[in-house]
Structure 1
Amino acid sequence: MEGTTLFVSIVIIVFGVLQIILFFKLWRMTNRVKEIDHMMRDRIHDYEFYMLSGQKEKAYNYIRNELINKLIDLQRTTYSIRFITTANKVMPRYIKKMQETGFEVPKHLLSAESFIEYRDKLHKL
């Protein structure tokens, strides 16, 4: 009986410590989600801010860089066929915003296929 009580006590203590660790990990994770949400809102605000203030060139550069970063991240994390379908769904929104600025959209940013082709040429240099 004494051995069983000791074993159960040790299990309960270990379980309690693990719950405390999990609590703090979850707390830190929720704070990180708040930071990410804040950063995302700032990004959207930047494009709108530039457009509303008449700084169309800055708005164009901002949205173009956002699209390029999105495509590079997508290409790193997905296979080529999935990249093409996903990128072709995402790109029109960015292309529309670039066109709203009045600047020409680069040819390699018009489709996922042209982006891959252009990036392959860059890697060969």
Structure 2
Amino acid sequence: METFMTIVFLVFGILQIILFFKIWGMTNNVKKIKEAFLEKDFPAEYLLVKPDLVKDAFYANIRKIDKLIYLGDKEAARRMLLSMKYDLESCRNSADKYVEKEVLELSEPLFKKIEESLAKL
């Protein structure tokens, strides 16, 4: 009877160790999923820190907007453009005076593209 209980406890101990490492591995997946959910479509607040990320997201959104215009959903395209413009303006207005010039230089071409797209509507 003692050997049976020893074997059962060993099996449960090994299974608990395996379960611990599986849960530990899943926490990394949760972090990735959380980051994906928290990341916005247009992360304008990272304009100074990660300008390439912002430009990539911007042009991806412009492609979505062009598709919406092509499909005839101009109101959704206008809302997306105005939302992007608002995010850029809030980023530009909240910039410190020390980095304001850099933020203006980075955001100016994006504003021009938004205005061009709004003119198409």
Q: TM-score range by the shorter chain?
A: 0.3 to 0.5
Name the structure, 1 or 2, with higher relative contact order (CA <8 Å, separation 6+).
2
So what's the TM-score if we normalise by structure 2?
0.44
